[in-house]
Chains A and B, each alone.
Chain A
């Protein structure tokens, strides 16, 4: 279902999932830093991974988490997984 999904759509969906999980005072964008700007806890990050896996029907390896700082990083990883 998501095989040819455009990156922009992935980004929009990712922003929506993050905003559902955290009550951030700032407007979320591609450049929002998940830790520095939103202050996600480790438990919230794990929940985020599960939500994303559910939404996009992918398995997101934990090994990739250290490379992800911003929502854009996350969306790019998801898009790459969908392309595989």
Chain B
């Protein structure tokens, strides 16, 4: 018996991949060649699993801003927002975000994880209730576990099931936080936000929407799924990340509730961690501006998403019927999924391998994410690589 016995299953998995001479988890990007190509684990590959939806990670203006911020303010803040780590640039990005979303307030977190986890842990507390979609991201599950609130799941994207649970809560629904995601990361499916917002209103609950995968992807100016569904007034809190469409790192929460300012004193993932470095803030501000200025990026992203979706569907692969920048190929057999991931990699295509329990059910996924920066030829090469795979 040892403290590490419980890690044996991870060791087994690691050994399994080592014996195969492959490394799908923690693959090493040795050199980035562009937004869509890199040398990974010694192979030149098309990046089709990076969440780099708008391809903004090599924008000269963002790079110059980050370089300037380093020269002016140094490499790091060396402290928490509550101590010495609030720089003028943090406040400016918060102002940018509030203005972009049209909300009264915004607060920054150092990562998307700490934003979602921190808000999930802080908003509903002991004696209150959190109702979360069953397919919520790990950061939401981690947060609600810390919250002390009663945690109730509802069936994924099922407003009727959500309503049942709200009804059972009776008066307690008024002290209940509903948490959903704009786009779910594994299958790229969309929350039925209009119906959820209507239920939130009917039962007097609160609603938080995680826009990690929908910022820059949906809605007017890329404001996300909430904006696209027109439910801004019913959405109490929007959380999200800078690490996908904005190609940096960090997270945020925006809200019209003036109490959001008080969350700064209550959210432990805000208080007890160093604030984002000045270069990160600088590049994020530029990326946010570019996202608004270049709607053509979003148009191209969706064109690419439609192209990859239809091409993979034509191959007869098991994919979802909806079109989304996340295109996930489902496989019942994990061994096949691993072998296919390896074959794709050898053919120069990097996708994400997702196996249970990380996948939403018992199946495995080869999860592709499309970028506005992918060329038609690259999308074709991704499809060609899939076309050669055999059961």
A binding-site residues for B, Cβ under 8 Å = 41-43, 46, 49-50, 57-63
Residue B155 is within 8 A (CB to CB) of chain A in the complex: yes
Cβ A59 vs Cβ B357 within 8 A: no
Q: Can you list 13 A-B contacts with CB-CB less than 8 angstroms, sorted by A residue number?
A: A43-B357, A43-B361, A46-B153, A50-B134, A57-B168, A58-B168, A60-B152, A61-B150, A61-B151, A62-B151, A62-B152, A62-B153, A63-B150
B361: chain A residues at CB < 8 Å are 43
Given A57-B168, A59-B165, A59-B168, answer yes or no on A43-B151 (Cβ-Cβ < 8 Å): no
B168: chain A residues at CB < 8 Å are 57-59
| Minimum CB distance partner of B168 in chain A | A59
Q: Closest CB-CB distance, A83 to chain B, in whole Å? A: 14
Interface string of B138-157 (1 = CB under 8 A from A): 00000000000011110100
Q: Closest CB-CB distance, B18 to chain A, in whole Å? A: 25
B contacts with A, residue count (CB < 8 A): 14
A46: chain B residues at CB < 8 Å are 134, 153
Alpha-carbon separation in the docked complex, A84 to B217 (Å):
45
Alpha-carbon separation in the docked complex, A22 to B362 (Å):
14
Alpha-carbon separation in the docked complex, A58 to B153 (Å):
12
Within 8 A of A (CB), among B147-198: 150-153, 155, 164-165, 168-169
B258: chain A residues at CB < 8 Å are none
Given A42-B357, A43-B357, answer yes or no on A59-B155 (Cβ-Cβ < 8 Å): no
| Minimum CB distance partner of B166 in chain A | A59
Cβ A49 vs Cβ B153 within 8 A: yes
Of A41, A50, A57, A58, the residue contacting B155 (CB under 8 A) is A50
Cβ B357 vs Cβ A63 within 8 A: no
Alpha-carbon separation in the docked complex, A46 to B356 (Å):
14
Q: Closest CB-CB distance, B117 to chain A, in whole Å? A: 16
Q: Closest CB-CB distance, A44 to chain B, in whole Å? A: 9
B153: chain A residues at CB < 8 Å are 46, 49-50, 62
Q: Closest CB-CB distance, A54 to chain B, in whole Å? A: 9
Alpha-carbon separation in the docked complex, A72 to B155 (Å):
25
Q: Closest CB-CB distance, B139 to chain A, in whole Å? A: 16
Alpha-carbon separation in the docked complex, A42 to B359 (Å):
12
B155: chain A residues at CB < 8 Å are 50
10 more A-B residue pairs beyond the given contacts A59-B152, A62-B152, with a C-beta to C-beta distance below 8 A = A41-B357, A42-B357, A43-B357, A43-B361, A50-B153, A58-B168, A59-B164, A61-B151, A62-B153, A63-B151
